[in-house]
Structure 1
Amino acid sequence: MTAFADLMAFQRETEALAQIAGRLGWDQETMMPEGAAEQRGEEMAAIEGVLHSRRTDPRVGDWLASAKATDAAGARALDLIGRSYHRNVAVPGRLAAEIARVTSVAQGIWAEARAKDDVAHFLPVFEKVVALMREKGQALAEAGFGGGDVYDALLDDYEPGATAATIGAMFGRMRPRLVALREKVLGAAGHPAPVKGTFAKEGQLALARELATAFGYDWNRGRLDLAVHPFSSGSGNDARITTRVVEADPFNCLYSTIHEVGHACYELAIDPDHLFTPLGAGVSMGVHESQSRIYENQLGRSRAFTGWLHGRMRDTFGDFGVATAEEFYRSVNRVQSGYIRTEADEVHYNLHIMMRFDLERQVMAGVLEVADLEAAWNARFAEDFGVKVDRPANGVLQDVHWSVGLFGYFPTYTLGNVYAGCLMKALRADLPDIDADLARGDARPATDWLAAKVQRFGGLYRPAEVIERACGFAPSEAPLLDYLDAKFGDLYGL
């Protein structure tokens, strides 16, 4: 066999083992008994140790030195394997295994602390997580990743090529328009009333399944379960989604489901020839988030689609107090200062991300210590949203990300929104009658367009290149901001 064939055969087994590790994580958040947390931590550490050993195997370096690709896909695969190899070599195996063990345990402790509003219960293990992630970031930075910057070295895991400086500059351009729109909307007359009532769990989950189908989710290769924090997991022919149910808030379940369907459909649509290769997954978290956000917001919260959803809500729950489709559309897109990022409206959402981005950069730099994070969060939240945090579950404990070491992940959410704004502009140009499809409860023409333009390529192209190829123009924040101004200007008569 050639060096290229040897390397790809070895990589195939590594990718398969990584899928198994992902399934353990899925099980931990959905079905694992609480008493198994410590044991699962050891299991995760063990499999991470095996994966790290394979990813740093000296043979990979030898194969990379002599492998020759015969096409663009092969060349890209070599590039991605090389990048992964050099990143993993920079992180000691001991550290990789310890991160897997501690974050697995920390995730369970975070869930307990969130349920009890007990920050003190979480802080000791979180201190360990932060110390480990600083150590990892430093090791990567010393190896030249992230231009030698600890935070950028971690960010590069989720959005290759991005830097805190470029993202911070983009946030700086976005923030004034977002704040101005927020102030105009909150100062407008005639705010829509929230949907009120009790919506049975069984009805919500049945409707959630129907929505997943409407957006093209393949139930033969997926499933829907419940989790504390909704997520999707897997790729290839096994991409699973989760949601959560709050009986007083059906939108929590329904739109979390649509969001996770966007992630899962991306993975399911990737060219099957890329399965068990570095090209067989979404290219970055920013591009991944562009899919979930365009499914959830530009499509799922559109006037056309909510008109259909209003009818299905009435069929499922009876008269729930919202008489017309237009009232329902206004309720779905209601703007208000709230605590929870995952429940935030489109106007406020990116402000949540900007706050987390600033705080986690300070934590990684050692400017902000873990013991002071809650106070810093509460102060910044009051400043940005005009509301005092009432309890930790609505504040610093609300997101799972930091407990599992995902520092550098948060800014990709807003980057995903920016990409989604670009994609929707291009989609509407190509599919001018898309609202007629959405009004029938059929999002598949739109999601088929996304599958053809973005999803099928997996990791074949670099993140910004994927978006530019799909849209015909370089990505920028302008289409998103224009979309938000137009949508909420119309909704609130601005």
Structure 2
Amino acid sequence: MSDFDALMEFQRSTEALSSVAERLGWDQETVMPRGAVEQRAEEMAAMESVLHERRTDPRIGEWLDNAAGEAEDAEDARMLELIARDYDRQTRIPARLATELARTTSLAQGIWAEARAADDLAAFLPTLSEILMLKREEAAALADGGDAYDALLDDYEPGATAAGISRIFAELRPRLVQLRDDLLGADHPPPKLDGQFPAETQLRLARQCATAFGYDWTRGRLDLAVHPFSSGRWQDSRITTRVVTDDPFNCLYSTIHEVGHSNYELGIDSDYAFTPLGRGVSLGVHESQSRIAENQLGRSRAFTGWLFGRMSEAFDGLSITDTEAFYASVNRVTPGHIRTESDEVQYNLHIMLRFDLERDLIAGRLDVADLEEAWNARFLKDFGVAVDRPSNGVLQDVHWAVGLFGYFPTYALGNVYAGCLNRAMTEALPDLDASLAEGDATPAVEWLRENVHRHGSLIPPVELIERASGDAVTAAPLLDYLETKFSAIYGL
């Protein structure tokens, strides 16, 4: 066996074990008994200990040195590049730290969920302080004298920097704020869908929406979670949603969003399974797939026309009685507290808030004890609305509870990438609206599979989006799309 083959065989087992660990996380957030939290934390810590030992095995360094000349094509070379990158990062992190992070964040997930349900921030802050100390230690180890936040960001969006993200946000903010202010000042805002919508009916419609977007039920399933997410890859990628009885859009669009993620993983070339190429290349690209499904496709006039018919039948009538008003209602702009329920115009403003706060937390410029005050003051400044309770503020997202510092900016990058992809896709598929009007988003899914999904991690993020869209990555396509769409809805 060559050194290259030995390395790939070793990597295959590591990827399989990583998938098992991810499934433990899925189980914890969906069906695990509440009393099993401490046991699961030990199980996750044990898995992370095994994985960290494998990922830092000295033989990897030896194989990499010897296998450099054995790469036969671009795929082999890219796999070696990705393994080397991961090996360099993993060897900087002490085994003790990796294990403790896994244990603490597993416990923290349950503590956060209970604190959120009870609106008891004080019950969560000690745990968050512990996680933050561990993440600062990890960031310092990875940065090796460089920027600590950039070191964490690189886990989710390789090559991105806080400075680069800040430039994109500076491009986005003025036009988003101006558009938001114009829309909120409009004379005739869209109506709000009122009523009570039974959970069972919402979930049945959610499954219909997932099917409309080509979700492969033979390789996936839908479950409930406090915070919707997707999990898995290759032959098993699962989605979750949540139900709010007076807001069916929460359930339906969370489902479509997560289907976008799962379609990406299930659309990767099957030859890449159990290799470093067999996953989405970055969280920004991943978010582009979920956001384009949820927004440009799922909230389009064509698809909402189909959805209006399905919902009218399922709920025996709606408070809104025509398709155009329903389309406007789906896209209603309102200054709400919750990021995951935010409209397209204001969504990135939520991300900018979190980006600035978590950078300050990692840098030590903001203490956990002062986080709620900082969050509430910034939210009032950015949105003109006071935060009334912790579950509508600092407790609403699970990300910091599970240690995902550096993750939030990838949501905004995903929106920017989706804007670029949407412009190219609509030019390539002139009959797309006709399909969407029939409840069939598969032409778009197939275009995305050909241009994005199948490549897995073969092509770096920005290069992948530029190839697919045929142009440089900028925020302009997203901003142009938002201004055109919402100006028409609001009659500006």
| Fold in common (TM above 0.5) | yes
1:178 match: 176
How far did residue 364 of structure 1 move?
0.3
Cα distance in 2 for partners of 1:430, 1:181 equals 28
Q: Distance in 2 between matches of 1:469 and 1:454?
A: 9
Task: State which of 103, 106, 130 in structure 2 corresponds to 1:104.
Answer: 106
| AA matched with 1:264 | S
**In structure 2, what is the equivalent of residue 406 of structure 1?**
404
Tell me what 1:271 maps to: 269
C-alpha deviation, 1:233, in angstroms: 0.1
SS of the counterpart of 1:418? helix
Deviates more, 1:314-323 or 1:234-243: 314-323
What do the CA deviations read for 1:196-227 (whole angstroms, capped 9, x no partner)? Answer: 10111111000000000000000000000000
Report the Cα offset of residue 493 of structure 1: 1.1
Size of the alignment, in residue pairs? 490
Aligned partner letter, 1:47:
M
Structure 1 position 315, deviation (Å): 1.1
State the distance in 2 between where 1:476 and 1:77 align: 28
* Other-structure match for 1:250: 248
Find the partner of 1:169 among 155, 167, 170.
Answer: 167
2:41 is matched with: 41
| TM-superposition CA deviations, 1:349-393 (whole Å, max 9, x none) | 000000000000000000000110010000000000000001000
Report the counterpart of residue 75 of structure 1 in structure 2. Answer: 77
Q: Is the 8 A contact 2:190 2:490 kept in 1?
A: no
State how far apart, in whole Å, the 1-side matches of 2:249 and 2:172 are.
Answer: 27
Equivalent residue runs for 1:147-226 within 5 Å: 148-226=146-224
Structure 1: which 5+ runs fail to align? none
Secondary structure, counterpart of 1:228 in structure 2: coil
Question: Whole-Å Cα distance in 1 between the matches of residues 286 and 333 of structure 2?
Answer: 25
Give me the whole-angstrom Cα distance separating, in 2, the residues matched to 1:62 and 1:372: 47
Deviations 1:284-339 (A, max 9, x none): 00000000000000000000000010000011111111110001000000001000
Query: Does residue 318 in structure 1 map to residue 316 in structure 2?
Result: yes
Distance 2:137 2:426 in 1: 46
Q: Unmatched 5+ residue regions in structure 2?
A: none
Shift of the alpha carbon at 1:193? 1.5
- In 2, distance between residues paired with 1:303 and 1:259? 17
Give runs of aligned pairs for residues 260-299 of structure 1, distance below 5 A: 260-299=258-297
Q: TM-score, normalised by structure 2?
A: 0.99
| C-alpha RMSD of matched pairs (Å) | 0.5
Pairwise mapping of residues 90-101 of structure 1 onto structure 2 (< 5 A)?
Answer: 90-101=92-103
The AA in structure 2 aligned to 1:340 is I
Partner Cα separation in structure 2 for residue 13 and residue 315 of structure 1 = 49
Deviation for aligned residue 1:170? 0.8
Task: Give 3-state SS (helix, strand or coil) of 1:206's partner.
Answer: helix
Distance 1:329 1:342 in 2: 19
Aligned to 2:50: 50
Q: Secondary structure at the match of 2:231?
A: strand
> Which residue of 2 is the match for residue 65 of structure 1?
65
Which whole-Å CA distance do the structure 1 matches of 2:150 and 2:167 have between them?
Answer: 14
2:361 aligned residue (363, 366, 371): 363
> SS state of the match for residue 225, structure 1?
strand
One-letter identity of the residue aligned with 1:247: T
Give the C-alpha shift of residue 449 in structure 1: 0.4
Instruction: State the distance in 1 between where 2:187 and 2:456 align.
Output: 45
In the alignment, the residues of structure 1 paired with residue 381 and residue 295 of structure 2 have an alpha-carbon distance, to the nearest angstrom, of: 26
- Give identity over the alignment, percent: 67
Question: What's the secondary structure of 2:276's corresponding residue?
Answer: coil
Deviates more, 1:386-395 or 1:314-323: 314-323
Tell me the SS of whatever aligns to 1:13.
helix
Q: Which residue of 2 aligns with 1:337?
A: 335
Corresponding residue of 2:130: 128
SS in 2 for 1:401: coil
CA distance in 2 between partners of 1:357 and 1:389 (Å): 18
Once the two structures are superposed, what CA deviation does each residue of 1:160-200 show, in whole Å capped at 9, x if it has no partner?
Answer: 00000000011011100000000100011111121110111
Write the distance in 2 (CA, Å) between the matches of 1:234 and 1:93.
25
What amino acid sits opposite 2:74 in the alignment?
A
Distance 1:194 1:3 in 2: 62
Residues in 1 aligned to 2:307 and 2:317: alpha-carbon distance in whole angstroms? 14
Query: Aligned partners of 1:215, 1:448: CA distance in 2, in Å?
Result: 10
Q: Does 1:16 align with 2:8?
A: no
User: Deviation digits for residues 251-280 of structure 1, max 9, x if unmatched?
Assistant: 000000000000000000000000000000
Residues in 2 aligned to 1:470 and 1:193: alpha-carbon distance in whole angstroms:
37
Q: Deviations over 1:432-471 (max 9, x none)?
A: 1111111111000011100110001000000001101111
Name the CA distance, whole Å, in 1 between partners of 2:47 and 2:199: 36
Counterparts of 2:212 and 2:490, CA distance in 1: 29
SS of 2:446's partner is: helix
Amino acid of the residue matched to residue 252 of structure 1? N
**1:111 alignment partner AA:** A
